[in-house]
Chain A
C-alpha cells in the first residue's frame, strides 16, 4: 500500500473542519423582535407612576404606557427620549434651583425627544408639543395608551436599548390644582404653562431578560449525607458477612 502523505492528510482534515465550521457559524440567529420595559417613577412630586413597554418588529413598534396618579382629565405629553445618559434626572438636575426639574434640565439625563407618543398622526420630533394629539388622563388620573406605528426616520430599533420614556404634565404645582395654569411658562414653549410640560414620570427602557434564571447551586440534587449512609450500609454488609463466616467457623 502506498504510504499516505502526512502533509496532504493534515491539509485535508483542516479543510474539512474549516468547511464544517464555516457552515455552522453563520447560524447565530439575529432576533427579529425585542421587548423593552420601563418602570415610570415620579418626578417633581407628581405622584405619577406607571409602566411602559415597547415591542419591536423590525421598524414597527407597539408602545404601551400605563400610568396612575396623573393629573386627571388633562392631556399628558409623552415621548421616547434618546441620546442622553439613558437615565432619569434626580433632584440634583435642578440647576436653576427653582425647586423643580424642568424639561430642559432633564435633557442631559434622558436626552432629546426622538419619538412622540401621540395618539394619531406623526410620531416624529415635530409632534413633540402637539398638545391635541396626546392621551388624556381619565377622572381617576389613569392614562392608558397603546399604539402600533413605524419608528420615525432617524430612529432605529437598536436606539431603544438606551432610551427613556417621559410623561409630562402636573396641574397641582401652581394656582388651580386641576388645571394647567399659573404664571411660569414652559421651558420649551412660551405658549404653554410650565405645568403642562413639567416632567411628571420617567423610566429607562430595558430589554426583557434573556432566557431563564440560574437559581440553584445543586446541593439538594444529589445525596448530601452520602458518607453517613455509606457507613451505615457498610456496617450492615459486614454484619451479613460475619453471619456467614460464623456459620462456617462454628460448624466446621
Chain B
C-alpha cells in the first residue's frame, strides 16, 4: 500500500461562491429577458393601428407571453432544485452525539478461549452501515499515523497490520475513508451505527469473526486518545473502526474529528 495523501488536496470550490456567482448570472439573464419584453411592447406601439383600440389585444398577448415565461421559469427552477437536492449527500454530521459505552469491564472470561489465532482479514461486511469491502493491509506513514488507502484502493477498508487480526485478543484496528474529493466513501455511514449492530470480518483462515458494536464516539484529531482507541486493556478480542467526522477544514484539507466505533467479539465461525 503506498502512502495516501491525494484525498487531502483541496477539493472543488465550496457551494457558497458558486451560488453567489450563479445567482448574479441568473439575475442579469432575468432582467435582460424583461427588457426584451418591454422593447417588444414599444415596437408594437409604432404600428399604424391606433394604439387606443389595440391596447386591450396587446395587453392580453403580452400577458400570455409573460405567463408562459414565468411558468417555464417556475417549473424549470423547481425541477433543478429538486435534482440538486436529490444529488446532495448529507455531510458527516457536525452535531454528532456519542452513543453507547466502551467495553472496559466486559466478560474477560470469554477470552482468550473464544479468541482466534492470528489470521489477517480479507473482507468486511457491516449491513447496518451498507459496508461491504475487501480489506487492504496498511502500516504507518512517516508522521507515525496509520497509512490511508489511496489511488485505485481509495474506497477500500484497511486493517492496520501492527494491530491484532480481527478475532485475536486485543484491539484490531480497521480504517476507511468517510468520503473522497468526489463523494461518499466506504465508511461514510459508520457514524450511524448503534450499540448492538453487528460487524462481520472474513479472515484468511476461512473463519469469520462477528463483533457487536459497544459504542460510537468522536474525538478531536488534535486531541486523540490513542491508548483508548488503539489498545485494549483486557485480554479480549475487540475491534475499532476509524473514519473522519466533524467539520471539514478547508485550510488544513482535513476533517477535524475522527469517528471511532468500538466493538467486542461476539462469536466466531
Contacts and interface: CB of A to CB of B under 8 A. Distances in A.
Interface of A: 35, 37-42, 47, 49-51, 53, 66, 68-69, 140, 142, 144, 206-239, 241-243, 245-246, 249-250
Contact of B255 (A216, A234, A246): A216
Rank and list the top 8 A-B pairs by shortest CB-CB distance, nearest first: A234-B26, A235-B77, A232-B80, A238-B30, A223-B15, A230-B22, A49-B118, A216-B244
Nearest to B164: A51
Given A223-B14, A229-B19, 16 more contacts: A35-B231, A66-B112, A68-B117, A208-B226, A214-B221, A214-B255, A215-B243, A216-B254, A218-B181, A219-B89, A221-B179, A226-B84, A233-B77, A234-B29, A239-B77, A242-B69
Given A207-B144, A212-B224, A237 B244 contact: no
23 contacts: A50-B117, A51-B164, A66-B170, A144-B235, A211-B222, A213-B242, A215-B7, A215-B148, A217-B185, A218-B179, A218-B255, A224-B87, A225-B85, A226-B22, A229-B19, A229-B84, A231-B22, A231-B26, A233-B19, A234-B22, A242-B33, A242-B70, A242-B73
B127 interface: no
B23 interface: yes
B95 interface: no
A206 B145 CA distance: 12
Given A220-B91, A242-B34, A214 B80 contact: no
SS of B interface (majority): mixed
A226 B25 CA distance: 14
A241 B30 contact: yes
B241 to A, nearest CB: 10
B242 A235 contact: no
A249 B140 CA distance: 70
A240 to B, nearest CB: 9
A144 B108 CA distance: 13
Nearest to A52: B170
Contacts of A217: 7-8, 11, 177, 179-182, 185
Contacts of A249: 37-38, 41, 62, 66
B1 interface: no
